[in-house]
Amino acid sequence: MPDPFLPGDPPIPLILRRSAQARRISLRISQLDGRVTLTMPKRLKEAEGLAFAREKESWIRKHLEARGADVAIGIGAQFPLGGKMVRVEVGQGRRIQLGTETVRVPGREDRVPARLAAHLKELARDRLSGACDDYAAILGKPYTKLTLRDTRSRWGSCTADGGLMFSWRLILTPPEVLDYVAAHEVAHLAQMNHSPAFWAEVERIYGPYKDARAWLRTHGSDLHRYRFA
């Protein structure tokens, strides 16, 4: 049976979840993808849950509007690169060309999103590798590998064996934010925690970090609105 939705302009799909632990109805709006989840006690009638969602419709629409709509990447679309908005345009030749306000992508239009995503991942790997090399040298502890993913719950991680993982979407952020995340994860090579000693290491190898950390907390979820699929 398909999940229900709230009618209107536009209609709002609802993901219905039943939980044996739930004692009341709750609503959650994901800042990453805008999905609205309606969680209900296991034995509650679905009609009661939908009535609750209808009562909260204005609240739901307000939060979805504040989040902003998803942006499908293609010719004419705009997205942030290095913290500055650029526009995707038709390119010539075989290589993607980066300008101050444009990104020119040659080839078939239906291949633009995939080609651009692959290019951005290469840029992210180069920038993150360079930053991690620099910070690891200052720290005096090498990392073992660096991998990129399109993670939703975290921007980076460090494993006990020295492996570093980052979201490739960091290439969309201002350079100082990407550098902060690189320093944050490299610092975990010395301190696998978030103790005062850990933050002291971050500040030693990166410098004052609070502004970059605040930017990520405020604007980070917005970067997941850009769809390169």
DSSP 139-159: HT---SEEEEE--SS-SEEE-
Q: Which residues face 6 on adjacent strands?
A: 12
pLDDT of 9 reads: 80
CA nearest 161: which of 182, 200, 188, 183?
188
Query: Distance (Å, rounded) from C-alpha 110 to C-alpha 114?
Result: 8
What is the tens place of the pLDDT at every residue in 124-144?
999 999 999 999 999 999 999
The whole-chain average pLDDT of the chain stands at 93
Q: Write down all domains in the chain, each with its CATH number in brackets.
A: 5-67 (no CATH), 118-227 (3.30.2010.10)
Q: Is the pLDDT of residue 89 over 80?
A: yes
The pLDDT tens digits for 186-214 are 999 999 999 999 999 999 999 999 999 99
Instruction: Flag whether pLDDT at 68 surpasses 60.
Output: yes
This prediction has a pTM of 0.78
| Contact between residue 152 and residue 224 where contact means Cβ atoms under 8 Å apart | yes
Residue 180 has pLDDT above 70, yes or no: yes
